[in-house]
């Protein structure tokens, strides 16, 4: 399974590159303006997607033309190729995202550069990015019998959660709650509990939180000066109101590491006392409520209904994440 292990870590590299490119592109739109489709932030973002796509293609070709490994589950594709299921899923997501990138180019050519992330090509590309994430989680879960697989899963989930926030910017406006805050809180709780459920390691839940914090800090401190430096290098001015505030990083929750610690503690107690369902549901509720409340502090607003909604749905999400881990754990059992 060496090829699959290397491939899984390459998927992590791909999502990190794409997420940094995404954060940089959003900062570029805010501080400078779109300029052209072929800016460095755009190209970096697509480089990350291409890394994912070509990695998946390489693993499929390797598995097709090498001696079959009984430890690797494959499916036949187009009657000729033997594709490991995780890399098939991630590869299809990457291919679709690159195709939607062409649609995005056409959209900008016809309608100009949009001011929101909710254009049809952007939403479609974000959904494809989510599919890539599902495939990569499957790839690492199939390696959970190894330390590199478990650690890779934890790191990947943290980085991927940060990138998935762009999709949640398209959350429909709801009259009774702040939908974006609730959606981010629930997604983060889902990812963190899923890591703990697949690996059975509370410590790796904290690793996920720290990997999220690491890429959050990198884009917070690195992207604004990078944007100004790149603009200066191609003789473009920044807008008059620009004060160096990070845009994408500003949409991301600050409370994820404390919530990861809380969830890790709950999972450790569940392991010690042999009762999983109750602690997981309670941790899901409290974790989601804390993330939603943290968002309200971050944006200097307060809507208790959103916090309550996050807590209520967090119960369901916590239990769902634990149940979802069963098929992922089965991927490593051939």
The pLDDT of residue 240: 80
Could you read off the pLDDT of 141-154 as tens digits, one per residue? 999 989 999 999 99
> pLDDT tens digits, residue range 109-153?
777 665 566 778 888 999 999 999 999 999 999 999 899 999 999
177-221: pLDDT as tens digits: 888 899 999 999 999 999 999 999 999 999 999 999 999 999 999
How far is the first Cα of the chain from the last one, in angstroms, to the nearest whole number?
Answer: 12
- The stretch 291-306 carries a mean pLDDT of 87
**Average pLDDT score over the chain:** 89
Which of residues 63 and 115 earns the better pLDDT score?
63
The more confidently predicted of residues 289 and 29 is 289
The helix/strand/coil state of 75 is: strand
Low-confidence winner among 6-20, 48-62, 267-281, 296-310 (lowest mean pLDDT):
267-281
Give 146's Cβ-side CA count (13 Å radius): 14
pLDDT over 70, % of the chain:
97
Each residue of 238-290: pLDDT tens digit?
888 888 889 999 989 999 999 999 999 988 888 787 777 788 888 899 999 99
Q: 76 pLDDT band (50/70/90 cuts)? A: confident
Residues 102-123 as b or e (16 or more Cβ within 10 Å = b): eebeebbeeeeebeebebebbb
Which residue bears the tokens 């949009």? 114
- C-alpha pair distances (Å), 61 with each of 42, 56, 133, 255: 28, 9, 21, 42
pLDDT at 116 (0 to 100): 66
- Please state, for a pLDDT cut of 90, what percent of the chain lies above it: 57
- Can you state the angle between helices 179-199 and 304-330, rounded to 10 degrees? 30
Reported for 107-115, long-range contacts at CB under 8 A and 24+ positions apart, including other chains, are: 108/34, 108/37, 109/37, 113/29, 113/33, 113/34, 115/29
Name the pTM for this structure: 0.92
Instruction: Please give the pLDDT value at position 314.
Output: 94
Res 34: pLDDT: 67
Q: Which helix (H) or strand (E) holds 76?
A: strand 74-77
- CA-CA distances (angstroms) from residue 200 to 193, 235, 329? 10, 52, 10
- List, in order, residues 6 or more apart from 134 with CB less than 8 Å away: 89, 90, 93
Short-list 146, 295, 273, 216, CA closest to 265: 273
Q: Cβ atoms within 10 A of the Cβ of 249, count?
A: 23
User: What are the beta bridge partners of residue 74?
Assistant: 84
> Is the pLDDT score of 227 beyond 60?
yes
pLDDT in the model for residue 35:
65
Q: How far is the C-alpha of 81 from the C-alpha of 74, rounded, in Å?
A: 9
Sign of the CA dihedral 254, 125, 199, 184?
Answer: positive
Q: What pLDDT score was predicted for residue 69?
A: 74
């Amino acid at each position: 399974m060496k090829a699959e292990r290397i491939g899984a870590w390459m998927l992590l590299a791909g999502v990190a590159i794409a997420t940094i490119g995404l954060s940089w592109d959003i900062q570029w739109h805010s501080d400078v303006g779109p300029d052209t489709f072929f800016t460095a932030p755009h190209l970096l973002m697509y480089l990350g997607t291409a890394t994912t796509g070509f990695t998946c293609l390489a693993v499929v070709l390797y598995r097709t033309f090498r001696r079959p490994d009984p430890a690797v589950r494959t499916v036949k594709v187009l009657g000729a190729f033997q594709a490991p299921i995780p890399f098939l899923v991630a590869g299809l997501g990457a291919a679709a995202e690159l195709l939607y990138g062409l649609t995005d180019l056409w959209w900008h050519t016809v309608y100009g550069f949009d001011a929101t992330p909710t254009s049809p090509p952007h939403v479609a590309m974000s959904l494809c990015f989510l599919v890539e994430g599902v495939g990569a989680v499957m790839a690492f879960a199939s390696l959970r019998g190894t330390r590199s697989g478990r650690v890779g899963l934890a790191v990947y989930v943290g980085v991927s959660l940060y990138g998935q926030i762009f999709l949640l910017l398209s959350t429909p406006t709801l009259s009774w709650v702040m939908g974006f805050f609730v959606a981010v809180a629930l997604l983060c709780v889902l990812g963190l509990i899923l890591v703990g459920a697949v690996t059975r390691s509370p410590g790796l839940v904290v690793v996920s939180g720290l990997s999220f914090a690491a890429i959050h800090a990198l884009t917070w401190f690195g992207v604004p000066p990078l944007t100004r430096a790149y603009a200066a290098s191609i003789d473009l001015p920044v807008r008059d109101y620009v004060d160096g505030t990070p845009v994408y990083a500003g949409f991301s929750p600050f409370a994820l590491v404390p919530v990861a610690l809380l969830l890790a503690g709950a999972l450790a107690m569940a392991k010690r006392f042999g009762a999983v369902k109750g602690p997981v549901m309670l941790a899901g509720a409290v974790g989601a409520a804390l993330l939603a409340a943290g968002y309200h502090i971050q944006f200097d607003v307060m809507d208790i209904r959103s916090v309550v909604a996050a807590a209520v749905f967090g119960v369901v999400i916590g239990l769902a994440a634990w149940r979802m881990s069963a098929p992922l754990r089965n991927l490593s059992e051939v």
